[in-house]
Structure 1
Amino acid sequence: MAFTSELTCIYSALILHDNKVTVNEEKLNALIKTAGVTIEPFWPSQFAKALANIDIKSLICNVDAGSSAPAAAAVVSTAAPVAPEEKKEEKKQEESEESDDDIGFGLFD
């Protein structure tokens, strides 16, 4: 239920921001009530407090701005050792498939 409540508040805040309405607890509650969604009553107040001094547009535009370079470096550093092992496993699987063909019959023959 908490996940649904969080998503409801997030979408409500985005709708209010998109319509250039100030995001506050009263507006969030009104939108949620109009949508007919039941959530725990503390969520709108928490989101209103969290978004009170934040520029939502910059938050949306910069979601992944700072973390892409370290994440890319982590992917590159872990991808190099994994690739040769995968190739070995693929060769073993191919060999085992070939050995099944040598028997002279298959699963659907």
Structure 2
Amino acid sequence: MASISELTCSYSTLMLHGNEVTITEDKINALIKAADINVESFWPGLFAKALANVNIGSLIYKVGAGGPAPAADATPAAPAEEKKVESKKEESGEYDDDMDFGPFD
């Protein structure tokens, strides 16, 4: 779980980006001071350095992307497997009926 310091720096970064302001350690610290929140001193610098050469807009849009889409032939295979299981169950039931024994015989 994220700490208060991490969340504060994350929200400060998003606020700066939303207002099209360059993200620097000083600007993050200014927002933190204005919010009157105690943050461990290394977090603002860490965030500023980590995001120095990052396109934050594309980073935000990529958060919801899980990965590559499943292969096209993987989806139809699942129903076919279910049909095979059902047909085996039916066959085994017919076999029991043919032998003239069951749970109530």
TM interval, shorter chain, is 0.5 to 0.7
> Gaps (5+ residues) in structure 2?
79-105
Aligned partners of 1:37, 1:69: CA distance in 2, in Å?
Answer: 42
Residue 27 of structure 1 is matched in structure 2 by 27
Separation (CA, whole Å) in 2 of partners of 1:44 and 1:52: 12
The structure where helix makes up a greater share of residues is: 1
Q: Distance in 1 between matches of 2:69 and 2:37?
A: 39
Separation of aligned partners in 2, 1:67 and 1:61: 13
- Point out 4+ residue stretches in structure 1 off by more than 3 angstroms: none
Q: CA deviation at 1:62?
A: 1.1
Q: Report SS of the residue matched to 1:5.
A: helix
Task: Give the counterpart letter for 2:63 in structure 1.
Answer: V
> How far apart, in 2, do the equivalents of 1:18 and 1:6 lie?
18
Q: Distance in 2 between matches of 1:27 and 1:49?
A: 13
Matching residue of 1:39: 39
Q: Work out whether 1:56 is the aligned partner of 2:48.
A: no
RMSD: 2.6
Please say which structure displays the higher CA radius of gyration: 2
Q: Structure 1 vs Structure 2: percent identity of aligned residues?
A: 61
Aligned residues: 74
| Alignment gaps of 5+ in structure 1 | 78-109
Specify the alignment match of 2:65 in structure 1.
Answer: 65
- TM-score (norm: length of structure 1): 0.59
The equivalent residue for 1:91 is none
Question: When the two structures are superposed, what TM-score results if normalisation uses the length of structure 2?
Answer: 0.62
